[in-house]
């Protein structure tokens, strides 16, 4: 198994939109949807035990999977096979990635969004989301499938940052937030 430490930094701001569990954070008596959103907007972020904002590991894994799918790189000697299925099963980001922003330092962005979350569905309401202007982080990926070459993995991660992105309103979904660049790869065998 190979391990790749990927040093990343933001190109555009990053905004998260994790669902706030009403069983964990119930509404207060006579609290409306807007007041609830105002009170709990920070809970839409993922935090580690030190209350530092983290990029969810699966967000990065799925961004890399989508990037390699779009790159459509053929595997030499395997006909029309591409790396897509090998990435889905053969690479994983091993843990959430702290990005150096503490819960108390989070900024807020307020947008007009569809009340039901479905684009173009009708009524719009104000929604508040965590907003990070700049960040840096190091993701640890495990490459489990020997079919995946280092160079193809690196290309997929770079394209994930450029074309797919992470978080709310990312390029993959027609937005412009959550783009990142890679400043380095460090490989090791375990």
In whole angstroms, give the CA distance from residue 138 to residue 94. Answer: 11
pTM here is: 0.93
Say which CATH class 2-18+33-189 falls into: alpha beta
Average pLDDT per consecutive 10 residues, the chain (190 residues; last block may be shorter): 99 97 95 94 98 99 98 94 97 98 98 84 91 98 98 99 98 97 98
State residue 118's pLDDT score. 80
State residue 146's pLDDT score. 96
End-to-end CA distance of the chain: 6
C-beta separation of 9 from 17 below 8 A: no
State residue 115's pLDDT score. 81
- Kindly list the domain boundaries of the chain, sorted by start residue: 2-18+33-189
């Amino acid at each position: 198994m190979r391990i790749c430490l990927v040093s990343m930094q933001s190109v555009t701001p990053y905004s998260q939109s994790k669902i706030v569990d009403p069983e964990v954070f119930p509404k207060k008596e006579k609290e409306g949807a807007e007041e609830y959103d105002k009170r709990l907007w920070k809970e839409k972020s993922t935090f580690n035990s030190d209350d530092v904002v983290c990029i969810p590991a699966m967000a990065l894994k799925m961004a890399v999977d989508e990037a390699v799918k779009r790159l459509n790189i053929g595997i030499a000697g395997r006909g029309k096979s591409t790396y897509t299925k090998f990435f889905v099963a053969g690479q994983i980001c091993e843990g959430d990635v702290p990005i150096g922003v503490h819960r108390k330092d989070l900024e807020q962005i307020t947008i007009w969004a569809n009340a039901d979350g479905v684009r173009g569905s009708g009524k719009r309401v104000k929604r508040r989301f965590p907003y990070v202007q700049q960040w840096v982080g190091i993701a640890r990926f495990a490459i489990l499938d020997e079919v995946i070459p280092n160079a193809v993995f690196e290309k997929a991660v770079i394209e994930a940052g450029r074309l797919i992105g992470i978080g709310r309103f990312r390029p993959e979904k027609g937005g412009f937030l959550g783009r990142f660049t890679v400043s380095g790869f460090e490989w090791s065998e375990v």
